[in-house]
Chains A and B, each alone.
Chain A
Amino acid sequence: MTATMVKTTYREALREAIREALQRDERVFLMGEDVGAYGGCFGVSLGLLEDFGPERIRDTPLSESAFVGAGIGAAIGGLRPIVEVMTVNFSLLALDQIMNTAASLQHMSGGQYAVPLVIRMTTGAGRQLAAQHSHSLEGWYAHIPGLRIVTPATLEDARGMLWTALEDPDPVLVFEHGSLYNLAGEIAADAGPVDLDHAAVRRPGDDLTLITYGGTLGRTLEAAEELAGAGVSAEVVDLRTLRPLDDATYLGSVTRTHRAVIVDEGWRSGSLSAELSARITEQAFYDLDAPVERVCTEEVPIPYAQHLEEEALPQVRDIVAAAHRTLGEQP
């Protein structure tokens, strides 16, 4: 069965996902800074105000704490809000609402109040937006029990993760890497909801496992291609969901390849990559043929200058070099 393929972009796929949710469930609404008249800071919600009206596409004041809190209230009250936060850096203003309220309320209320809230936000660097708009803090959120953290890295996931997230009775945070919005390609015309439970093998291989997610998936696949040119067969695992982690998939891969390189645009210390490395060591120690390697962002505020920003971020050459180190070779 070959489904009809249609051309789309990551941005359009997200928009279609929101549109579908608005159509399928009248409890769903979108709320955030400039999501209405302006069409969203990254253009995701362009045109939705015209189609669904100001009741369901709501512009909010510049107060992350207030509108995330309002979203939590709406979710408790029976609605299914999609809250857009412009960037993950700004989400810190709403961190109290996200962690102390959204993630905790189910527990604090003894199970009386679930918070079926979806928060979308842009993450990541690479667009010369400097240190206050560029950080990758999804790993921080993945630290918090009570949240589900998803990172669509493909058109299918951009299209399909939102509906499943809305179905989840608990808060789900969707991290959209800023470099992905213009990602273009084809997806099945009838592409729909996808699961949020499993990591995906994006490229099979035998010699080592490259583990990544979100914005670094593309560069990791490029690195795998380059490694293939050098006769190294790298498997690429896209985590997709950062909390809860799908241990079975990436550990299964590492157990088979015996080598792991983690590629994470977050900072290295106390990070998601550290968590992955620890789990690999805890659960696959006797299958490791080399120390786990990590390719992360330099531990600096993301620089504005283009060459410095590039230098700070994980690049293909860094991934390739780390891969060769796990093989005990000079690249």
Chain B
Amino acid sequence: MSDFTMPSLGADMERGTVLEWLVAPGDVVHKGDPMAVVDTSKAAVEVETFADGVVVDLVVRVGSEVPVGTVLAHLGPVGAAAPAPAPEPAPEPEPTPEPAEVAAQEPAATTGHQPVVHSPLARRRARELGVDLASVAGTGPGGEITREDVEAAAPAAPPTPSTVPEAAPATTPAARGAGRPRVTPYARKLAREMGVDPAAVTPHDGETVRASDVRAAAIAAPAPAAQAPPPPAPPPGAPPPTGAPRPTAAATRAQTMRETIARLMARSKREIPHYYLTTTVDLTDALAWMREQNAGLPIAERLVPAALLLRATALATARHPALNGFWVDDAFVPGSGVHLGVAVSLRGGGLVAPAIHDADRLTVTETMAAMRDLVTRARAGRLRGSEMADPTLTVTNLGEQGVESVYGVIYPPQVALVGFGRVVERPWSVDGLLGVRPLTTLTLAADHRATDGFTGGRFLATIDDLLQHPEEL
């Protein structure tokens, strides 16, 4: 089987029109026999075949203008039985929006047949438009499937919604796919090295993920997956870092973590103008309510005071969004949700602050479960990459270590850190009466670039207020 193609009848000829077919399917032709008359836009020229054979079918109909190299007819070997009813080169019923220059191939002819697509653009468009390339008739040289062919085929095969960007911003080419922000090559490389999923990084300019955004994301995960022990499996889509040393001994691990903490904390104190606020919260009502709840709960689900404090912090954070987010490149970037980082100290030293995602939408019981789960897995070294990635505000509770208050160092690029001290019983005056009450010291370390003490003060007052009405938590 050989192809009879549109010849180039002059150096400047790019396309030609079939004016007349001089053969019909079933005809036996010999090398040198004229097959068709072709208009080169300068002259009508008879075009001969260079091969012997039997005309199997005529692919291009009279009047069609096609590029040089397009298959015009197929020739079969001489002696082979002429194919039964060869498809007429008449217009096919299949509607195509573009001027149908080439009769569409019979689907039967293409099955079991690899589509000819060399153009990455055509492949990408096919993917975007949900077009099956095997079903597309190519009009390019040698039946090559072009972008136009793919786009012409698209209406017949409606795209699957998931593959089409819903409402790509006008400024970004629709081809960017799924409306995801673009990532610079360096940012992509850096993300791989740091074990960050670039798709999960929020670009500070809303359009392009740059190296600074990746660094911010990596730092937001206080013990980056690449360096710190927690997730034995890197986040999905992030191959294991190549540059980072793979610590084997626990000592190395602890040292790496120490270095990470050192770097972060030094940066925090160097860059962030901290301000500190303190208030003492009376937990009488909160703890009474908690005991009441616990009476009806199985032991495994019982609440601890920290759950109430976390819950109150989450709600207050949602009400004071200025404290929830990041300071990046001289501007505050609000967090995409309330993701509370919970500082967990690890056995053998070091600490991590994985996130409880959307903590403001959990009930107290769910908060308790999330906290218990997180602490257990953090200490077992089984945190997930996503948990490490994006706390928007961190809470530290050194109360269980017996301290009364903690003035924390903010995790950059976050802008606030809330600390809870030990619950202690102290003489406390309420409405002029002195009593012994359970109290905790609530502290806030906040970035003065992002907020002022006024905002911080209201935030602490909100937490206090919420803890006075535990039934509403």
Q: Chain A residues in contact with chain B, CB under 8 A?
A: 258, 285-290, 328-329
Taking a contact as CB atoms under 8 Å apart, the answer to whether A287 and B189 are in contact is yes
Per-residue A-contact encoding for B206-231, CB less than 8 Å = 1, 0 else: 00101100000000000000000000
On chain A, the residues within 8 Å of B210 by CB distance are: 289-290, 328
List the B residue with the shortest CB-CB distance to A231. B330
Expressed in whole angstroms, the Cα–Cα distance for A119 and B126 within the complex equals 56
Shortest CB distance B210–A (Å)? 5
Taking a contact as CB atoms under 8 Å apart, the answer to whether A286 and B189 are in contact is yes
Expressed in whole angstroms, the Cα–Cα distance for A258 and B187 within the complex equals 10
Expressed in whole angstroms, the Cα–Cα distance for A21 and B120 within the complex equals 58
List the A residue with the shortest CB-CB distance to B208. A328
Expressed in whole angstroms, the Cα–Cα distance for A290 and B209 within the complex equals 10
Taking a contact as CB atoms under 8 Å apart, the answer to whether A258 and B204 are in contact is no
On chain A, the residues within 8 Å of B187 by CB distance are: 289
Expressed in whole angstroms, the Cα–Cα distance for A288 and B188 within the complex equals 10
Shortest CB distance B203–A (Å)? 8
Taking a contact as CB atoms under 8 Å apart, the answer to whether B208 and A258 are in contact is no
Shortest CB distance A241–B (Å)? 28
Expressed in whole angstroms, the Cα–Cα distance for A16 and B184 within the complex equals 49
Of the A-B pairs whose beta carbons lie under 8 Å apart in the complex, a sample of 7, sorted by A's number, is A285-B185, A286-B188, A286-B189, A287-B186, A289-B185, A289-B211, A328-B205
On chain B, the residues within 8 Å of A287 by CB distance are: 185-186, 189
Taking a contact as CB atoms under 8 Å apart, the answer to whether B208 and A288 are in contact is no
Within 8 A of A (CB), among B177-211: 184-189, 204-205, 208, 210-211
List the A residue with the shortest CB-CB distance to B190. A289
On chain B, the residues within 8 Å of A258 by CB distance are: 186, 211
Taking a contact as CB atoms under 8 Å apart, the answer to whether A289 and B205 are in contact is no
On chain A, the residues within 8 Å of B186 by CB distance are: 258, 286-289
Taking a contact as CB atoms under 8 Å apart, the answer to whether B185 and A288 are in contact is yes
Within 8 A of A (CB), among B436-467: none
Contact residue range for chain B? 10 to 19
Per-residue A-contact encoding for B112-133, CB less than 8 Å = 1, 0 else: 0000000000000000000000
Expressed in whole angstroms, the Cα–Cα distance for A132 and B449 within the complex equals 56
Given A258-B211, A328-B210, CB of A286 within 8 Å of CB of B185 = yes
CB-based closest 3 A-B pairs: A289-B186, A289-B211, A289-B184
Expressed in whole angstroms, the Cα–Cα distance for A287 and B210 within the complex equals 11
Expressed in whole angstroms, the Cα–Cα distance for A73 and B204 within the complex equals 62
Expressed in whole angstroms, the Cα–Cα distance for A290 and B205 within the complex equals 13
Shortest CB distance A103–B (Å)? 31
Name the residue in A288, A289, A328 with the highest tally of chain B Cβ atoms < 10 Å from its Cβ: A289
Expressed in whole angstroms, the Cα–Cα distance for A290 and B210 within the complex equals 8
Name the residue in B186, B210, B329 with the highest tally of chain A Cβ atoms < 10 Å from its Cβ: B186
Expressed in whole angstroms, the Cα–Cα distance for A290 and B213 within the complex equals 13
List the B residue with the shortest CB-CB distance to A330. B205
Shortest CB distance A327–B (Å)? 8
Expressed in whole angstroms, the Cα–Cα distance for A290 and B185 within the complex equals 8
Contacts beyond the supplied A289-B211, A329-B205: 6 A-B pairs with Cβ under 8 Å: A285-B185, A286-B185, A288-B184, A288-B186, A289-B187, A328-B204
On chain B, the residues within 8 Å of A286 by CB distance are: 185-186, 188-189
Shortest CB distance A94–B (Å)? 34
Expressed in whole angstroms, the Cα–Cα distance for A283 and B329 within the complex equals 28
On chain A, the residues within 8 Å of B184 by CB distance are: 288-290
On chain A, the residues within 8 Å of B205 by CB distance are: 328-329
On chain B, the residues within 8 Å of A289 by CB distance are: 184-187, 210-211
Expressed in whole angstroms, the Cα–Cα distance for A328 and B203 within the complex equals 10
On chain A, the residues within 8 Å of B189 by CB distance are: 286-287
On chain A, the residues within 8 Å of B211 by CB distance are: 258, 289
On chain A, the residues within 8 Å of B208 by CB distance are: 290, 328
Expressed in whole angstroms, the Cα–Cα distance for A280 and B188 within the complex equals 17
Expressed in whole angstroms, the Cα–Cα distance for A109 and B227 within the complex equals 62
Shortest CB distance A228–B (Å)? 16
On chain B, the residues within 8 Å of A285 by CB distance are: 185
List the A residue with the shortest CB-CB distance to B192. A286
List the A residue with the shortest CB-CB distance to B183. A289
Shortest CB distance B450–A (Å)? 18
List the B residue with the shortest CB-CB distance to A326. B210
On chain A, the residues within 8 Å of B329 by CB distance are: 329
Expressed in whole angstroms, the Cα–Cα distance for A287 and B189 within the complex equals 8
Shortest CB distance B243–A (Å)? 13
Expressed in whole angstroms, the Cα–Cα distance for A289 and B203 within the complex equals 12
List the A residue with the shortest CB-CB distance to B214. A289
Shortest CB distance B107–A (Å)? 42
Per-residue A-contact encoding for B265-278, CB less than 8 Å = 1, 0 else: 00000000000000
Shortest CB distance A109–B (Å)? 35
List the B residue with the shortest CB-CB distance to A287. B186
Shortest CB distance A278–B (Å)? 15
Shortest CB distance A204–B (Å)? 20
Shortest CB distance B75–A (Å)? 45
Expressed in whole angstroms, the Cα–Cα distance for A258 and B210 within the complex equals 10
On chain A, the residues within 8 Å of B188 by CB distance are: 286
Shortest CB distance B186–A (Å)? 4
Expressed in whole angstroms, the Cα–Cα distance for A258 and B188 within the complex equals 12
List the B residue with the shortest CB-CB distance to A291. B184
Shortest CB distance B269–A (Å)? 20
Expressed in whole angstroms, the Cα–Cα distance for A285 and B210 within the complex equals 14
Name the residue in B189, B204, B329 with the highest tally of chain A Cβ atoms < 10 Å from its Cβ: B189
Expressed in whole angstroms, the Cα–Cα distance for A289 and B188 within the complex equals 9
Name the residue in B185, B188, B189, B329 with the highest tally of chain A Cβ atoms < 10 Å from its Cβ: B185
Expressed in whole angstroms, the Cα–Cα distance for A285 and B205 within the complex equals 21
Within 8 A of A (CB), among B323-364: 329
Shortest CB distance A256–B (Å)? 11
Shortest CB distance A212–B (Å)? 22
On chain A, the residues within 8 Å of B185 by CB distance are: 285-289
On chain B, the residues within 8 Å of A288 by CB distance are: 184-186
Expressed in whole angstroms, the Cα–Cα distance for A286 and B185 within the complex equals 5
Shortest CB distance B447–A (Å)? 18
Expressed in whole angstroms, the Cα–Cα distance for A54 and B380 within the complex equals 91
Expressed in whole angstroms, the Cα–Cα distance for A318 and B418 within the complex equals 46
